[in-house]
């Protein structure tokens, strides 16, 4: 059958997919900041703790995290719905990757910038907010956008715990049809149609930020 036959049904999962991706990314972005700062700390204990967290969340398959949160916590009388469990699970995983993105941004700021801020007797908070963060943002933003697009596709794993996203709908349709190949090709097309505008928007935002701080992304 024609791909267009299945697009309306698959499109009904777009909102859930986007919401899951955006919320998971937001959770990860918040958690990642203290992790990245600890990873760059002069205290070895904090560096080891942050490094251990990053390796832990990135070393365990996402599906295992989702099963632990959705099924495993039930034995402790903690019941999460599938969407909440997916957001928390993917958010925890995202934090490990985004923390390394943040760290790359921090390391890209020339040490002389911090030394100049120290010479001007700026506080640590002021130095971070007005000197380090704006310059790091130019490095962080394109990497974060690329990760967001990857997370958009990886969010399909949430279908295993029943989140009604694009993949779950595709699986449901395939069980009622003998045309599974067309259905999953259509699902892939939907993911592609979402990813392209996100990439274009992200590139535009990245260019505007780079221009604001007197630099442009290397093409």
Domain that holds residue 63: 3-212
The reported pTM is 0.87
Q: Report the pLDDT value the prediction gives residue 123, as an integer from 0 to 100.
A: 67
The answer to whether 192 and 166 are in contact (CB under 8 A) is no
Please state, in angstroms and rounded to a whole number, the distance separating the CA atoms of residues 136 and 32: 14
How far is residue 179's CA from residue 193's CA, in Å, rounded to a whole number? 21
Closest CA to 146 of 101, 183, 80: 101
> How far is residue 147's CA from residue 215's CA, in Å, rounded to a whole number?
22
Question: 157 Cβ partners below 8 Å, 6+ apart?
Answer: 62, 63, 66, 90
Enter the tokens of residue 192: 């592609």
Looking at the domain assignment, is residue 58 inside a domain? yes
Domain count, the chain: 1
For the cut 50, the answer to whether the pLDDT of residue 168 exceeds it is: yes
Mean of the pLDDT values across residues 164-188?
Answer: 90
Q: Is residue 107 part of a domain?
A: yes
What pLDDT sits at residue 95? 96
Helices (H) and strands (E) in the chain — how many of each? Answer: 10, 0
Q: Which residue has the higher pLDDT, 7 or 83?
A: 83
In a domain, 218, yes or no: no
Could you tell me which residue, 115 or 98, shows the higher pLDDT? 98
| Number of Cα atoms under 13 Å in the Cβ half of residue 79 | 1
The predicted-structure confidence for 60-113, as pLDDT tens digits, reads as follows 999 999 999 999 998 888 899 999 999 999 999 999 999 999 998 888 877 777
CATH of the domain at 39: 1.10.3720.10
List phi, psi (to 5°) of 5: -60, -35
* Domain assignment present for 79: yes
CA atoms within 13 A on the CB side of 161: 26
Confidence band of 115 (pLDDT split at 50, 70, 90): low
Overall residue count recorded for the chain in this entry: 219
Q: In this structure, is residue 219 part of a structural domain?
A: no
The answer to whether residue 217 is domain-embedded is no
Pairwise CA distance, residues 8 & 20, whole Å: 20
Average pLDDT over residues 187-203: 90
- The residue whose two tokens read 């791909």 is 3
Higher-confidence residue of 157 and 125: namely 157
Round to whole Å and give the CA distance between 39 and 36: 5
pLDDT of residue 91: 96
């Amino acid at each position: 059958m024609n791909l267009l036959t299945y697009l309306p049904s698959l499109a009904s999962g777009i909102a859930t997919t986007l919401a899951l991706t955006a919320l998971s990314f937001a959770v990860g972005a918040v958690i990642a900041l203290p992790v990245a700062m600890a990873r760059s700390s002069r205290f070895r204990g904090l560096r080891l703790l942050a490094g251990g967290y990053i390796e832990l969340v990135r070393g365990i398959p996402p599906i295992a995290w989702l099963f632990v949160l959705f099924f495993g916590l039930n034995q402790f009388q903690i019941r999460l719905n599938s969407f909440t469990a997916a957001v928390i699970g993917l958010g925890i995983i995202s934090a490990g990757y985004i923390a390394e993105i943040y760290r790359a941004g921090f390391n890209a700021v020339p040490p002389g910038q911090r030394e100049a801020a120290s010479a001007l007797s700026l506080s640590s908070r002021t130095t971070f907010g007005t000197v380090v963060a704006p310059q790091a943002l130019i490095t962080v933003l394109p990497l974060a956008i690329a990760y967001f697009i990857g997370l958009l596709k990886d969010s399909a794993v949430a279908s295993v715990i029943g989140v009604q996203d694009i993949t779950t709908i595709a699986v449901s349709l395939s069980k009622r049809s003998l045309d599974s190949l067309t259905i999953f090709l259509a699902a892939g097309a939907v993911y592609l149609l979402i990813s392209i505008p996100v990439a274009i928007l992200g590139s535009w935002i990245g260019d505007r930020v780079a221009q604001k701080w007197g630099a442009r992304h290397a093409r």
